[in-house]
Structure 1
Amino acid sequence: MAFRKTLLAAALALSLGVSAGPAQAEVKIGFLATLSGSGAALGQDMVDGFNLALEERGGKLGGQDIVLLKEDDQLKPDVGVQAVQKFLEKDKVDLVAGVTFSNVMMAIAKPLADAGMTFVGSNAGPAPLAGAQCNPGFFFAAWQNDGQAEVLGQFATDRKYEDVYLITPNYQSGRDQVKGFTRFYKGRISGEVYTQLGQQDYSAELLALQAANPSAVWVFLPGGMGVNFVKQYKQFGLMGKIPLLAASTVDGSTLPALGETALGVYAGTFWGPDFQNPVSQAFVAAFEKKYNRIPSQYAAQSYDSALLIDSALQKTGGKIDDKQAFRDALRAADYASVRGAYKFNVNGFPIENFYAFEVAKDAQGRVSLKTIAQPLTDHADAYAGNCKY
């Protein structure tokens, strides 16, 4: 009789389309990004890229239902800390991801570390967290800040520019990237200018740049800062006269606003929308179909961070409560990335290739990034040697 009842219960469960076993657990992810102000386009692309990966997998990663809790840090470190505290104390998340700007990342690093929380970053990669303040639970699926500047430093050296004029906001990532550029550039620095974060008018800086008349200009001005600078650079008659090398300044987040104004600008990073590997091509096609725009690297990074989490949950059978097992699975980076093969260094930052791009029109006549060189191969950041767990 008991056996017959068991069979009847199983048959009833199947007829209702439900499992007779326990309900599938959810994984809660707290996603922090800058979604307002001059950096909003970057944060929105990060959210869109992550959501695309989720939607393609039916709202699951590693077979587990994902609850994605999103917060806007407003590009303010204190707001970022409040959001993380909400994730930890109220929402009881299993994982924190995202983070657009490095000043916010530096502010939230300690509360995340103190809570023993696993973190998967998809943009900000400040130098201190790659070195002495590294954490075994932090994994950065994009790049260490210096990398984008280092590749352009090597590119400028390869182009034999005699002197370069540097302009960047005065905050963690800006200072990191100046160090990165000068680490690989072998010429002379004719100017090193630090602006306010979020600055919109660059008239004074451009007047000083004109007077210096360098062989090339390097800038790191993400989001709306970059849009305004590039437009003003052209208004001052400098476009096409002095080569402009830009990190996180011309990409899918800013080119829709810049259009042909940015043609000829050089960029450097780890991924471009013209990459030919199958994962990248499928991602670009899906992103363009859903959002009707070319994805930026911010979207690609967040999409990749979702793939990384998916791969780790697959390895652990969907379990995240065993932190060490889950972190070991993240560190393996055992998945097909939009950038191609890479691996994590001891500090949780990727060892990966970096490329140079030129803003040009694609086959459809749209303004985009065209890959023109690969100055750095299997590149590791300069700080990993200082990482001691």
Structure 2
Amino acid sequence: MRSSFARSGLLTAGLCAAVALSTPALAQDKIKVGLILTLSGPAAALGQQARAAFEMALKDLGGKLGGREVELVVADDELKPDVAVTKVKGLIDRDKVDVVVGPTFSNILGAIAKPVTDAKVFLISPNAGPSPLAGKGCSPFFFATSYQNDQVHQVSGKVAQSRGYKTLYLLAPNYQAGKDAIAGVKRDYKGQIVEESYVPLNTLDFQSELAKIAAAKPDAVFTFMPGGMGVNLIKQYKQAGLADRIPLLSSFTVDESTLPAQGDAALGMFAGSNWAPDLDNPQNKAFVAAYVAQQKAVPATYAFQAYDAALLLDGALKATGGKTDDKEALRAAFLKADFTSLRGAFKFSRNGFPVQDFYLTKVGKRPDGKLETQIVEKVFSDYVDSYLPECSIK
């Protein structure tokens, strides 16, 4: 007969083994999501909108994704590619996140895409959509709830062509998204480009560019200037007296992240978008009302796309029973896109980019006096990005 000490030892050993066996299961109770966005500097408003909306979605989903509690790990990329790489590696290696959501800017996405996807961690972009990731650089571990960069800007090129503008002045920041913007405008515009001007990212003084525009006297100007760049450009454009003489078409230059600072200087200006706060469907109306109530501000595309990113994650994880270890099953669930997007109809191409509608919008005032972009007309329906044929994923 074994002594009580022996029996106690066996019991202790058994309990230790049970605890050891249960620890991985307990560790998997929460799904870890790494959220990497630009949260400081002149462009911080963009990332802050995305973060607020993603956190709002998690709250609306009861703090769970696919039935699993969520641990959200937030990182500020500071709009610096080297900083972003260091921080995203920390999310993967130290924090052991199951999925990464972000970033805001395309130069940051270009820097972090390979480290994340090489680690076989899914990367969901709630905004940036550089052309290389849609075409030859596509990855089975990458999805975007936004757009391929060219598409939003292509709206302005299409509108400029249809309105008979014979000359166009192009102005964008000198990085991947800026180059994609110019490429998008040129896709449908067949008139004369009088100037194609690139300025350093985070430029805030546009006096020399405005002097060139005044001298060139184009029929219209197209610009892509997100965040603080857009705030300053629009104010200076108005002050220079150009707003009353030369129509301005844009993307992300006049939107809900910049309008509070631009004020009435932005009224009446046009933009291309895949969404607007006044998009007429029940889920979008509820989202905008809730966001305004909680944040005391009107949401921009950065917010709605981040909200959709959380809904996409929730739908995919429901399909896999909350599991993330079977990568093929999780990719198939992402591709299925089983969620109700705030934009309405939504599906993915095999390169991980959405098939969706695009609109011309115009800055106007809401009944509460706040500025917002409002839909003027639909320009593209169920639009598939032009780089899909270059993607090797089948």
Quick check: TM above 0.5? yes
- Aligned to 1:360, what secondary structure does the other structure show? strand
Task: Output the CA distance in 2 between the equivalents of 1:325 and 1:163.
Answer: 50
Task: Output the CA distance in 1 between the equivalents of 2:271 and 2:206.
Answer: 20
**1:121-270 equivalent positions in 2, closer than 5 A:** 121-270=125-274
The answer to whether residue 289 in structure 2 is matched with residue 285 in structure 1 is yes
Which of 335, 353, 363 is the aligned partner of 1:359? Answer: 363
Aligned to 1:4: none
TM-score (normalised: structure 1): 0.93
- Structure 2 residues without counterparts, runs of 5 or longer: 1-24
The answer to whether residue 119 in structure 2 is matched with residue 115 in structure 1 is yes
Deviations 1:311-368 (A, max 9, x none): 1111111111211111111111111101111211111001110000011112333221
The answer to whether residue 333 in structure 2 is matched with residue 333 in structure 1 is no
Which of 282, 302, 317 is the aligned partner of 1:313? Answer: 317
Q: What's the offset of the Cα at 1:217?
A: 0.4
Deviations 1:37-83 (A, max 9, x none): 12111010110110000111221112111111000111000011001
Deviations 1:273-328 (A, max 9, x none): 00111111111011011101110110011001111111111111111121111111
Which AA in structure 1 matches 2:348? F
Which of 47, 52, 55 is the aligned partner of 2:59? Answer: 55
The answer to whether residue 307 in structure 2 is matched with residue 300 in structure 1 is no
Tell whether the 8 Å contact from 1:30 to 1:87 is kept in structure 2 after alignment: yes
Which AA in structure 2 matches 1:149? H
Which of 365, 379, 382 is the aligned partner of 2:383? Answer: 379
Tell whether the 8 Å contact from 2:165 to 2:220 is kept in structure 1 after alignment: yes
Task: Output the CA distance in 1 between the equivalents of 2:28 and 2:123.
Answer: 23
- Aligned to 1:194, what secondary structure does the other structure show? strand
Change (3 A) 1:24 1:87: closer
Which AA in structure 1 matches 2:215? A
Q: What's the offset of the Cα at 1:157?
A: 1.3
Aligned to 2:21: none
TM-score (normalised: structure 2): 0.92
- Aligned to 2:306, what secondary structure does the other structure show? helix
Change (3 A) 1:24 1:84: closer
Which AA in structure 1 matches 2:191? G
Name the larger-Rg structure.
2
CA RMSD of aligned residues (A): 1.2
- Aligned to 1:38, what secondary structure does the other structure show? coil
- Aligned to 2:94, what secondary structure does the other structure show? helix
Q: What's the offset of the Cα at 1:381?
A: 1.0
- Aligned to 1:346, what secondary structure does the other structure show? coil
Change (3 A) 1:292 1:143: same
Q: What's the offset of the Cα at 1:23?
A: 8.7
- Aligned to 1:91, what secondary structure does the other structure show? coil
Which of 89, 93, 96 is the aligned partner of 1:92? Answer: 96
- Aligned to 1:227, what secondary structure does the other structure show? helix
Which AA in structure 1 matches 2:379? P
Tell whether the 8 Å contact from 1:24 to 1:65 is kept in structure 2 after alignment: no
Task: Output the CA distance in 2 between the equivalents of 1:339 and 1:54.
Answer: 18
Aligned to 2:352: 348
- Aligned to 2:100, what secondary structure does the other structure show? strand
- Aligned to 1:120, what secondary structure does the other structure show? strand
- Aligned to 1:340, what secondary structure does the other structure show? coil
Tell whether the 8 Å contact from 1:240 to 1:264 is kept in structure 2 after alignment: no
Change (3 A) 1:23 1:29: closer
Aligned to 1:82: 86
Task: Output the CA distance in 2 between the equivalents of 1:359 and 1:22.
Answer: 50
Task: Output the CA distance in 2 between the equivalents of 1:64 and 1:155.
Answer: 45
Task: Output the CA distance in 2 between the equivalents of 1:338 and 1:130.
Answer: 23
- Aligned to 1:35, what secondary structure does the other structure show? coil
Which AA in structure 2 matches 1:339? R
Task: Output the CA distance in 2 between the equivalents of 1:64 and 1:252.
Answer: 32
Number of aligned positions between the proteins? 369
